Amino acid sequence: MTHLERPADLVLTGGRVLTMDADQGATSEPADSVAVRAGRIVAVGSVADVERQVGPRTRRIDLAGRTLLPAFQDAHVHPVMAGISLTRCPLHDLPVDPAAYLQAIRAYAEADRNRAWLVGDGWAMSAFPGGTPTRQDLDLVVPDRPAFFVNRDGHGAWVNSRALEIAGIDRDSVDPRDGRIERDARGEPSGTLHEGAMEIVRRCLPPTTIEDLVRGLALAQAYLQRFGISAWQDAWVTAADLAAYRLFAQRGELTGRAIACHWWDRERGPEQIEELVERRRTGTLGRLRATTVKIMLDGVVENRTAALLEPYLDDLGRSTTNHGIAFVDPNLLKDHVTRLDADGFQVHFHALGDRAVRQALDAIEAARERNGPSAGRHHLAHLQLVDPADIARFAGLGVTANIQPYWACHDAQMDELTIPFLAPERAARQYPFRSLQESGVRLAGGSDWSVSTPNVMAEIEVAISRISPEDRTAEAFLPGEALDLPAALRAFTRGSAWVNHLDEVSGSIALGKLADLAVLDRDILGPEAGPLGETRVLLTLIEGAAVFEDPALERG
């Protein structure tokens, strides 16, 4: 340290530092200490290396053998939605049991009899026969007011008779192009609405105020930061959501780095691009960037709306004529993506079925042919089914695979609502993480919270074990597609930083980069590490400032 340099503000010493700054493996060189000054990393190495940066006001943190790594980044998450859910009637953490859901909904209804609508989310499809709850069950606890409860994955809703009545849905209603009204044996709406059919009821809900949205965003940001997450890509941002983000940022409360994905309205066409350009301009403020467009191409396998190349099977294992639903015409999609790419947008696709994946890749290929290389860093999220012929196309087109590893395991939703409805050879190639990695594809990690947990270490455990932390005695799910620990860590650090266009300043621990860091409660590479999903984050730093700190950090 020269006389022109002031001492470090913070030093963290005596732990395992995973810099994620190497092309191979978790670290480039062994390091156990880091120094931070003015929000940036000024030393990485041994205790002696950082000791030269210490002054009388430097804060010292003894890592006590624990792990220090770059703060995580979530490349596909829904903070506004998840935060709003926390203020309503969340069902996510309840037992997967209709009785538990109905008890919680009854209590919510009785707590405020003046609520015009009962709204919540988080029920699991596997709790109900065929994944479809009925209006009659919901009527038992909410007979007099409309009720609207979205399922855990956000692709279906459970409604009561009053909600159907208000929305005008009856036996004569026609399914929307992008959804399905579940019906009973008499043809009456049964109480489950899939995909676009949900919107018929959602449009009737009381408006959510901007203060409601800001409150939800504040709750979500705090929750994400408890898991070591410093940056995220919000994968569904409406104009109202963006206004809430702007207000949150203007108040100085947006401490995380947020990439807002403008929602592509599939009922409209390219005329909306001009609006998105203006929202991008006004949506850049502080740590907020509104540089991405989210296009949802299909649904999910569990309700047979994911778009597949080969048809679904029926309950008896026989082939059907149902290939799922393509939400956007593939030829129009090529034009949309080409224009968005030319206008400098990043495109973030929901592509779960193999037909949707192919259509997304075809659209990016069309954009490349028309526009040439771009800095868009387009990426496909979910990727439950990818045809082997398409795996090699990702790297050639420079497309990132945005993976949600927590889903790649045996659970009731997989074993009861997915595998039986796919031909065996196709069910055996779900979530092909390793195949993508070995073909040279960059991986980014996302949670899709509130669909599943934003606990990155739990997601990483599933990525490398293909077994749910909720039942570690279960059989591994297609273990040949498992990642190793360095690859899984890279996905949630360098990989997500890449798609967030933050890789130049974060995603690894290197001199001059921002001090966006996380401290874990153990040496995750040590022999006594235990299950990775049980790892706790003790400290989350953004530019060297603590946005979350567990009292256990200083107890050693």
Give the domain CATH number at 66.
2.30.40.10
pLDDT at residue 4, as a whole number: 45
CATH number for 161? 3.10.310.70
Mean pLDDT of 374-386: 97
pLDDT tens per residue, range 260-311: 999 999 999 999 999 999 999 999 999 999 999 999 999 999 999 999 999 9
The DSSP bridge pattern shows strands 257-263 and 229-237 to be: parallel
In this structure, the answer to whether residues 354 and 460 fall within a common structural domain is yes
Residue 24 has pLDDT above 90, yes or no: no
CA angle 241, 247, 248 (to 5 degrees): 90
- Sign of the torsion formed by the C-alpha atoms of 156, 160, 166 and 171: positive
C-alpha 448/C-alpha 92 separation (Å) is: 13
C-alpha 340/C-alpha 359 separation (Å) is: 16
In this structure, the answer to whether residues 287 and 145 fall within a common structural domain is no
In this structure, the answer to whether residues 329 and 195 fall within a common structural domain is no
In this structure, the answer to whether residues 385 and 290 fall within a common structural domain is yes
- Let me know if residue 87 belongs to a domain: no
Q: 48-52, 221-225, 371-375: lowest mean pLDDT where?
A: 48-52
Mean pLDDT of 331-356: 98
Q: Structural domain of residue 172, as residue ranges? A: 117-202
- Let me know if residue 467 belongs to a domain: yes
Cβ-contact 298, 325 below 8 angstroms: yes
Reported confidence tier of residue 556, pLDDT bands at 50, 70, 90: low
Number of domains in the chain: 3
Mean pLDDT of 244-259: 98
Q: Could you give the percent of the chain with pLDDT greater than 70?
A: 98
In this structure, the answer to whether residues 252 and 219 fall within a common structural domain is yes
Decide which of 481, 499, 517 is a domain's last residue: 499
pLDDT tens per residue, range 127-151: 999 999 999 999 999 999 999 999 9
Strand partners, 296: 350
Mean pLDDT of 155-183: 95
- Let me know if residue 546 belongs to a domain: yes
Q: Output the average pLDDT for the chain.
A: 95
In this structure, the answer to whether residues 371 and 249 fall within a common structural domain is yes
pLDDT tens per residue, range 476-509: 999 999 999 999 999 999 999 999 999 999 999 9
Mean pLDDT of 423-436: 97
- Let me know if residue 299 belongs to a domain: yes
Decide which of 202, 231, 255 is a domain's last residue: 202
The DSSP bridge pattern shows strands 33-37 and 40-45 to be: antiparallel
Edge-to-edge order in the sheet of strand 545-549? 16-17, 67-70, 517-520, 537-542, 545-549
- Let me know if residue 106 belongs to a domain: no
CATH number for 426? 3.20.20.140
Cβ-contact 380, 397 below 8 angstroms: no
Q: Residues, the chain, total?
A: 556
Reported confidence tier of residue 554, pLDDT bands at 50, 70, 90: confident
In this structure, the answer to whether residues 187 and 233 fall within a common structural domain is no
Cβ-contact 419, 426 below 8 angstroms: no
In this structure, the answer to whether residues 435 and 295 fall within a common structural domain is yes
In this structure, the answer to whether residues 400 and 456 fall within a common structural domain is yes
Decide which of 169, 202, 235 is a domain's last residue: 202
Q: Which helix (H) or strand (E) holds 105?
A: helix 98-111
pLDDT at residue 29, as a whole number: 59
The two tokens of residue 170 are 């009856």
Residue 28 has pLDDT above 60, yes or no: no
In this structure, the answer to whether residues 526 and 476 fall within a common structural domain is no
- Let me know if residue 279 belongs to a domain: yes
In this structure, the answer to whether residues 368 and 488 fall within a common structural domain is yes
pLDDT at residue 2, as a whole number: 41
In this structure, the answer to whether residues 59 and 136 fall within a common structural domain is no
- Let me know if residue 103 belongs to a domain: no
* Biggest alpha carbon–alpha carbon distance for the chain: 84
- Let me know if residue 102 belongs to a domain: no
Helix (H, G, I), strand (E, B) or coil at 504: coil
C-alpha 136/C-alpha 186 separation (Å) is: 14
Q: Beta strands of 229-283 (E only): which ranges?
A: 229-237, 257-263
User: Which residues 6+ apart lie within 8 Å of 179 measured at CB?
Assistant: 193, 194, 195, 196, 197, 198, 199, 305, 325
pLDDT tens per residue, range 529-551: 999 999 999 999 999 999 999 99
